[in-house]
């Protein structure tokens, strides 16, 4: 813990830790020492972690990287972080992210962008997003692991951009209670770690059935670490042809082929599969996610949390709502709220929101059909490129940024577990990741496949 705290002090330029909690960390570390000496400590005991700014942490600033939550200190602890503290883990502080987890580059954060510790020449690169602070902090050894959340790829894409492991579990595996909501039917928390084994241990600690989240599943949490046998002989790996995008960089294609060869060498059978509705996933996601976000973000009205605009004489409560939200939300969040409100409006609900829900059901069915054929896991690239330069995409059309999620959003729409594993470097020397998608509730098996790719 002390080593991490001093690394964090020296790494201000990365801008990853935005609220530091050294007093809490040292106190928790001391308690962990005592517990370890008593000989009865779980694996997470004494492990120093960074926590994404989206998790409510009691008495500690929780801002979702938004000005609208400035000064907000929750009275409660999220279930996920409580589970980690109960296991003896240590909180070093809160990590930057895209505002309300909307973005793929960590550039929408009210704290300014996070810098990827990986570099080519002098250009600063994005660590990806929205869990960009988590990814950068783990990759730069500021903490041993971090929490992330993933609504459309926000654990897996930054993990790929920084050469670390990130898993989004099956929807319902991890409690959403105390995690600031973006799109509630898609959001899941998960670990971001240096190895698959660390991910297995930390995920097991984060999971629990939670009556405070009605979508939290009441099913047993297996020992994920015990599943890491490295034996995948006879397993069937699906390679979906729709993910071989036109114009995909040759290096991404090669990475994918190398991954296929590794799994084959380990004794798996490689099967060509089809997920025919893949091309509709991004448009469906960018209707469903903003729709839910517009509803979830209605609560930030200047009354209940954080920032409240100053009013001029004669201005009333409607002015207060409008001014507070205009001042507090950044441009990307405002764009999502407007898209969401539009697609849910009476005149357009059937044309957009209901249509997107139907597409979502078809995407889910594509996966169900493939798993019914006996496929154990699906292998795809995690991202269409390696990390891009800061400012490079943010200044372009917002849709260009949305295209980053092309390989990851299907997994959230279908509620499946997905993992990103670092699988080498591109010709510029930047990390690239492969994604494995698993059967629902089979995170252990998924982690075992990922372990073979490490
Ligand atoms: N990049 C996607 C978005 O902006 C996904 C974000 C996420 O998973 N939280 O919506």
Domain ranges within the chain, ordered by starting residue: 1-454
pLDDT at 234 over 80: yes
Sign of CA dihedral 69, 100, 327, 136: positive
| Residues in the chain, overall count | 454
**How confident is the prediction for the chain on average, in pLDDT?**
97
Locate the ligand 1 atom nearest the alpha carbon of residue 101 and give its number: 9
> Would you place residue 91 in the very low, low, confident or very high pLDDT band (cuts 50, 70, 90)?
very high
Mean predicted confidence (pLDDT) in 344-353: 96
How far apart are the C-alpha atoms of 79 and 387, rounded to whole Å? Answer: 32
Q: Is the CB of 153 under 6 A from ligand 1?
A: yes
pLDDT the model gives residue 395? 75
Distance 415 CA to ligand 1 centre (A): 15
Locate the ligand 1 atom nearest the alpha carbon of residue 153 and give its number: 8
Query: Of 103, 336, 401, 406, which is best to mutate to test ligand 1, by the most ligand atoms within 8 angstroms of its C-beta?
Result: 103
pLDDT the model gives residue 116? 98
Structure confidence by residue, pLDDT tens digits, 371-409: 999 999 999 999 999 999 999 988 778 888 888 899 999
Tokens linked to 301: 């009205």
Sign of CA dihedral 60, 63, 69, 75: negative
Q: Is the CB of 104 under 6 A from ligand 1?
A: yes
Concatenate the DSSP letters of all residues of 128-163 into one string: -SSSHHHHHHHHTTSSSEEEEEESSSTTHHHHHHHT
Contact 452, 227 (CB under 8 A): no
pLDDT the model gives residue 396? 78
Sign of CA dihedral 220, 225, 229, 234: positive
Structure confidence by residue, pLDDT tens digits, 432-446: 999 999 999 999 999
Q: Is the CB of 413 under 6 A from ligand 1?
A: no
Order the strands of the 377-381 sheet from edge to edge.
17-20, 90-95, 48-52, 145-150, 188-193, 165-168, 418-425, 431-438, 377-381, 236-240, 269-273
pLDDT at 108 over 90: yes
- Asked if the ipTM is above 0.95, the reply is yes
Locate the ligand 1 atom nearest the alpha carbon of residue 186 and give its number: 8
pLDDT the model gives residue 399? 86
> Cα-atom radius of gyration of the chain, to the nearest Å?
21
How far apart are the C-alpha atoms of 383 and 420, rounded to whole Å? Answer: 9
**Residue 14 zone, left/alpha/beta (φ > 0; ψ -120 to 50; rest):** alpha
- From start to end of 284-416, where are the E strands? 377-381
Distances (CA, A) of 239 to 173, 404, 421, 437: 26, 20, 16, 11
Mean predicted confidence (pLDDT) in 157-162: 98
> Would you place residue 281 in the very low, low, confident or very high pLDDT band (cuts 50, 70, 90)?
very high
pLDDT the model gives residue 415? 98
Distance 363 CA to ligand 1 centre (A): 18
% of the chain with per-residue pLDDT over 90? 95
Q: Is the CB of 289 under 6 A from ligand 1?
A: yes
Q: Which residues are catalytic?
A: 52, 130, 154
Q: Is the CB of 330 under 6 A from ligand 1?
A: no
**Lowest-confidence region among 77-86, 298-307, 390-399:** 390-399
Structure confidence by residue, pLDDT tens digits, 19-48: 999 999 999 999 999 999 999 899 999 999
Locate the ligand 1 atom nearest the alpha carbon of residue 154 and give its number: 8
Instruction: Decide which of 49 and 400 is more confident.
Output: 49
pLDDT the model gives residue 121? 87
Q: Is the CB of 381 under 6 A from ligand 1?
A: no
Distance 161 CA to ligand 1 centre (A): 15
- HSE-CB for 70 with a 13 A CA cutoff: 15
Q: Is the CB of 65 under 6 A from ligand 1?
A: no
pLDDT the model gives residue 394? 80
* Residues forming a β-bridge with 190: 148
Tokens linked to 277: 């509705």
Q: Is the CB of 175 under 6 A from ligand 1?
A: no
Distance 104 CA to ligand 1 centre (A): 6
pLDDT the model gives residue 1? 98
Q: Which residues contact 111 (CB under 8 A, 6 or more apart)?
A: 15, 18, 65, 96
Structure confidence by residue, pLDDT tens digits, 182-218: 999 999 999 999 999 999 999 999 999 999 999 999 9
Tokens linked to 32: 């962990």
Q: Which fold has domain 1-454?
A: Amidase signature (AS) enzymes (3.90.1300)
**Lowest-confidence region among 124-128, 273-277, 300-304, 369-373:** 300-304
Distance 9 CA to ligand 1 centre (A): 29
**Element (DSSP H or E) covering residue 419:** strand 418-425
The gap between the terminal CA atoms of the chain, to the nearest Å, is: 27
Closest CA to 186 of 151, 233, 153, 148: 151
Beta strand 48-52 with 145-150 is parallel
Distance 326 CA to ligand 1 centre (A): 22
Locate the ligand 1 atom nearest the alpha carbon of residue 131 and give its number: 9
Q: Is the CB of 99 under 6 A from ligand 1?
A: no
pLDDT at 122 over 90: no
Contact 310, 77 (CB under 8 A): no
Structure confidence by residue, pLDDT tens digits, 411-433: 999 999 999 999 999 999 999 99
Sign of CA dihedral 239, 370, 220, 214: positive
pLDDT the model gives residue 31? 98
Query: Of 152, 288, 408, 413, which is best to mutate to test ligand 1, by the most ligand atoms within 8 angstroms of its C-beta?
Result: 152
């Amino acid at each position: 813990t002390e080593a991490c705290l001093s690394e964090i002090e020296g790494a201000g330029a990365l801008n990853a830790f935005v609220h530091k909690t050294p007093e809490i960390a040292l106190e928790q570390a001391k308690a962990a020492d005592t517990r370890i000496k008593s000989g009865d400590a779980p694996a997470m005991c004494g492990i120093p972690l960074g926590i994404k700014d989206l998790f409510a942490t009691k008495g500690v600033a929780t801002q979702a990287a938004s000005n609208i939550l400035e000064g907000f200190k929750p009275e409660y602890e999220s279930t996920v972080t409580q589970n980690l503290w109960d296991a003896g883990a240590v909180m070093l502080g809160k990590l930057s992210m895209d505002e309300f987890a909307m973005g793929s580059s960590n550039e929408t954060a009210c704290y300014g962008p996070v810098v990827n510790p990986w570099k080519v020449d002098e250009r600063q690169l994005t660590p990806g997003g929205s869990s960009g602070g988590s990814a950068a902090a783990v990759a730069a050894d500021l903490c041993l692991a971090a929490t992330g959340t993933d609504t459309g790829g926000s654990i897996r894409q930054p993990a790929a951009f920084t050469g670390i492991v990130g898993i989004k579990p099956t929807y319902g595996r991890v409690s959403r209670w105390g995690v600031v909501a973006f799109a509630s039917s898609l959001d899941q928390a998960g670990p971001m770690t240096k190895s698959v084994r660390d991910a297995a241990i930390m995920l097991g600690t984060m999971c629990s059935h939670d009556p405070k989240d009605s979508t939290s599943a009441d099913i047993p949490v297996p020992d994920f670490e015990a599943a890491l046998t490295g034996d995948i002989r006879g397993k069937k790996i699906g390679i979906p042809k729709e993910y071989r995008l036109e114009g995909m960089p040759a290096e991404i294609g090669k990475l994918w082929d190398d991954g296929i060869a590794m799994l084959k060498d380990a004794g798996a059978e490689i099967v060509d599969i089809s997920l025919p509705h893949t091309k509709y996933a991004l448009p469906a996601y960018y209707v469903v996610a903003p729709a839910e976000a517009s509803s979830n973000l209605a609560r930030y009205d200047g009354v209940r949390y954080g920032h409240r605009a100053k009013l001029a004489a004669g201005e009333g409560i409607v002015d207060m709502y409008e001014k507070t939200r205009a001042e507090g939300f950044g441009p990307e969040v405002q764009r999502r709220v407007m898209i969401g409100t539009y697609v849910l409006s009476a005149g357009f609900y059937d044309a957009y929101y209901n249509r997107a829900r139907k597409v979502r059901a078809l995407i889910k069915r594509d996966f169900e059909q493939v798993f019914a054929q006996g496929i154990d896991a699906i292998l795809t690239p995690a991202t269409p490129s390696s990390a891009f330069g800061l400012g490079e995409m943010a200044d372009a059309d917002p849709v260009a940024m949305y295209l980053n999620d092309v390989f990851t959003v299907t997994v959230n729409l279908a509620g499946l577990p997905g993992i990103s594993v670092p699988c080498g470097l591109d010709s510029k020397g930047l990390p690239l990741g492969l994604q494995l998608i698993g059967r629902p509730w089979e995170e252990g098996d998924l982690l075992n496949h990922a372990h073979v790719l490490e």
